[in-house]
Chain A
Amino acid sequence: SQTIHQWPATLVQPVGSPLSLECTVEGTSNPNLYWYRQAAGRGLQLLFYSVGIGQISSEVPQNLSASRPQDRQFILSSKKLLLSDSGFYLCAWSAGTYEQYFGPGTRLTVT
């Protein structure tokens, strides 16, 4: 069966520091991969998605970037965090155009 991992679970970072969040999927090949951000009590904002290695589509211009160095690995990065980057970051995968399966998420607090 397929599983999706995200780490770390929680993170507290100072403003201006770099960020690297990692997501890996097991049990499937060539998944579509997604990064979402969810502000407290709010909906899901799609940040990036990828349909293959090295293919990244950006949905919202900001100081974040994403990379997919391997088929089942998706990384979210920032060179300098802003206070507004705080939130709940969720990685998800799907097999083509079907339902999405979410990882446990990373709670990021920028101080």
Chain B
Amino acid sequence: GQQVMQIPQYQHVQEGEDFTTYCNSSTTLSNIQWYKQRPGGHPVFLIQLVKSGEVKKQKRLTFQFGEAKKNSSLHITATQTTDVGTYFCAFRAGAQKLVFGQGTRLTINP
């Protein structure tokens, strides 16, 4: 079935460095959602993108949806220790379901 590939699988950065995770699909997506899961916690919804080329910002986080609606990225500027966790992208497959990527696990050296 339809899937998305997230890269990288793991990323370790020094506090203050930037971080980017990518979500790629071979087919056009109707929308893309991003979630964050802190270690030991549950996924928390961050944002949804629906328009081609859409860019949204939440403080130090910048989310982008590609022009062809086949890829998306999440960029964190100047990481902080509170950014530690796994970031998942997800897309709507059918009327009621979400399909999640495998996630990018971010660890930060303080």
Q: Chain A residues in contact with chain B, CB under 8 A? A: 32, 41-44, 46, 49, 51, 57, 59, 90, 94, 97-105
Closest A residue to B48 by beta carbon equals A99
Contact B100 A44 (CB under 8 A): yes
CB distance from B92 to the nearest CB of A (A): 6
With contacts defined as CB atoms under 8 Å apart, how many contacts are there between chain A and chain B in the complex? Answer: 42
Contact B44 A102 (CB under 8 A): yes
B2 within 8 A of A: no
Q: How many angstroms between the C-alpha atoms of A90 and B41 in the bound complex?
A: 10
Cβ–Cβ < 8 Å partners of B103 in chain A: 42-43
B68 within 8 A of A: no
Cβ–Cβ < 8 Å partners of A32 in chain B: 96
Cβ–Cβ < 8 Å partners of A90 in chain B: 42-43
Closest B residue to A98 by beta carbon equals B48
Cβ–Cβ < 8 Å partners of A43 in chain B: 88, 100-103
Q: Chain B residues in contact with chain A, CB under 8 A? A: 33, 41-45, 48, 88, 92, 95-103, 105
State the 6 A-B residue pairs at the shortest beta-carbon distance, nearest first: A43-B102, A102-B42, A99-B45, A44-B100, A102-B43, A105-B42
Given contacts A101-B45, A102-B43, contact A49 B96 (CB under 8 A): yes
Cβ–Cβ < 8 Å partners of B98 in chain A: 46, 100
Contact B88 A44 (CB under 8 A): yes
Q: How many angstroms between the C-alpha atoms of A50 and B45 in the bound complex?
A: 20
Closest A residue to B6 by beta carbon equals A43
Q: How many angstroms between the C-alpha atoms of A46 and B43 in the bound complex?
A: 14
Contact A99 B88 (CB under 8 A): no
